[in-house]
Structure 1
Amino acid sequence: MSTPESARQPDEAVTRLRRLDCCAVSDALDLLGLAGQVTGVPKRSGSAAKIAGRVITLKLHDGPRPDGPLRHLGTTAVELSDTDTVIVVEQRSGKDAGCWGGLLTLGAKLRGAAGVVADGPVRDIDEAREYDFPIFSTSLTARTARGRVVEAATNGPIVPWGVPVEADDYVIADSSAVIFIPAAKVNAVLDAAEAIAFKEAVMAKALLAGKPISLVMSGDYENMLEGGDK
């Protein structure tokens, strides 16, 4: 029996991730020798400074539709979404065709989804702004997907911006970057990022107390990613 939405427990990793920013998470990936940072993806809508959540993947292509009942692209991803999820779309066909649009945005908003991250063109962005729904995307368009691209899979593997991403991985996005974290590594990344954020908070407190910045950002800052307590 499925768990009612009202009875679902919040994802602790999502809760922790939302307390961080992309810079701390990026430093944690560097410390652990991991990749997953994508820069240069602007936020197109939404007033929230950042979004974070567990990934629902949506892959579009210009090939044949998958077997099974006909559904409009993205609707399965919307129906799977909840407050702990971010829908990540890959539309790397090279065609100027919307991989996300206004009705999908409204549907995701009503489900409480945290936002959308799209490697591809998004349309109806003014509607997303009216709904105050966060979308990060490579580009904008008015061109419909109809007759151009179709859904290839939901919650299958994708490679947005060349980064391998699986369903139930994690993502955080803000004005600095979009960062993907493999589910198997999320606790290690969160531990490292929280330690880095704590050290930076201590240094900020020292600056506010009047300590010279040259002293605050000497050994403490330069050695931050070495894992020690210098």
Structure 2
Amino acid sequence: MTTPPPTPAPPGRTTRPPTSSDTAGDRPAPLADDLRAKYLRAPVAALSAQLRALGYDDVTIDGVTPLHPASKLVGVARTLRFVPARPDLFASHGGGYNAQKRLFDSVGPGEVIVVEARRDPGSGTLGDILAIRARRNGAAGVVTDGGVRDVVAVTAVGLPVYCAGAHPAVLGRRHVPWESDVTVACGGTAVQPGDVLVGDADGVLVVPRHLAEQVVDAALAKEDEDAWVAEQVAAGHPVEGLFPPSGEWRSAYDAWRSTRA
């Protein structure tokens, strides 16, 4: 019996070998509603201070700015890794229904697509069509250390996006979409699927998932303290012994906090 020849790939698509993105684990668990509500209240700066107190100094995604500075970004990470452009690699992985398109089709509510583009803004890593798809799927946002093309149209979609700047070139000028849902480096920071991504006008922070509740509770408690201190300073008190509270000021703050409890 003669073995039939393989079915050719549809026009516009290229065949490719399997990648780790094809066998990635289950999608990350979403944030509980109450935990998400806490993160929506917590400033990135306050969260950063609490992570630093735990020894986590390298958790900011550096070099990115928001297209919507007034919008808060909170969600769990889905990751996408690009490798440097090379003709043969783009032929095997870049065309057709590639890793980038598969991830934007599969992203779900409350998830943030985090893109490792090696801090290379020399081409777009997101355009308006994919931004529309992500928003329609309920994604919480996109963070990329590469460029965004069609930036006016992407901004108009309304999806929270942090990027390294605008660039008109298509993806293939610099990048090949390689794999998804693996540990990546975005803006010099390690991001794992399921990590909590939080962004505001100060920037984007990565909170390891196992620290999520501890960090946000400590940040909100410190925000309450800082708000009380700000009231005392606004009333004319010097910052010595007050910022942070110590001695009599600590006793005064503890007494004030007990009345609120």
Q: Same fold (TM over 0.5)?
A: yes
How far did residue 72 of structure 1 move? Answer: 3.5
Q: 1:140 is paired with a residue of what secondary structure?
A: coil
Gaps of 5+ in 1: 1-7
**Per the alignment, do residues 123 and 223 of structure 1 end up closer, same or farther by CA in structure 2, a change over 3 Å counting?**
farther
Say if 2:69 and 2:201, in contact at 8 Å, map to a contact too. no
How far did residue 15 of structure 1 move? Answer: 2.6
Say if 1:74 and 1:100, in contact at 8 Å, map to a contact too. no
Q: 1:60 is paired with a residue of what secondary structure?
A: strand
How far did residue 145 of structure 1 move? Answer: 1.1
Q: Which residue of 2 is the match for residue 4 of structure 1?
A: none
Q: Distance in 1 between matches of 2:237 and 2:71?
A: 27
Residue by residue, what CA displacement relative to the aligned partner does 1:165-201 show, whole Å, maximum 9, x if unpaired? 1000011111112111111221221122111111122
Q: Distance in 2 between matches of 1:202 and 1:82?
A: 39
Higher Cα Rg, which structure: 2
Q: Which residue of 1 is the match for residue 155 of structure 2?
A: 129
Q: Distance in 2 between matches of 1:9 and 1:135?
A: 20
* Partner AA of 1:53 in structure 2: G
Q: How many residues align?
A: 214
**Per the alignment, do residues 218 and 96 of structure 1 end up closer, same or farther by CA in structure 2, a change over 3 Å counting?**
same
- Counterpart check, 1:28 vs 2:44: no
Q: Which residue of 2 is the match for residue 158 of structure 1?
A: 184
Q: 2:106 aligns with which of 71, 80, 97?
A: 80
Residue by residue, what CA displacement relative to the aligned partner does 1:58-89 show, whole Å, maximum 9, x if unpaired? 1111263677x952442232233233121111
Q: Which residue of 1 is the match for residue 212 of structure 2?
A: 186
Q: Distance in 2 between matches of 1:50 and 1:10?
A: 17
Q: 2:172 is paired with a residue of what secondary structure?
A: coil
The percentage of counterpart residues that share the same residue type is 24
* Partner AA of 1:139 in structure 2: G
**Which portions of structure 1, spanning 4 or more consecutive aligned residues, are displaced by more than 6 angstroms?**
none
* Partner AA of 2:223 in structure 1: A
Q: What pairs up with 1:103-182 in 2 under 5 angstroms?
A: 103-146=129-172, 148-182=174-208
Say if 2:123 and 2:173, in contact at 8 Å, map to a contact too. no
Say what the alpha-carbon RMSD is for the aligned residues.
Answer: 2.8
Q: Which residue of 2 is the match for residue 100 of structure 1?
A: 126
Q: 1:122 is paired with a residue of what secondary structure?
A: coil
How far did residue 93 of structure 1 move? Answer: 7.2
TM-score normalised to structure 2 length: 0.72
How far did residue 97 of structure 1 move? Answer: 2.0
TM-score normalised to structure 1 length: 0.80
How far did residue 14 of structure 1 move? Answer: 2.6
- Counterpart check, 1:212 vs 2:205: no
How far did residue 205 of structure 1 move? Answer: 4.0
Q: Which residue of 1 is the match for residue 258 of structure 2?
A: none
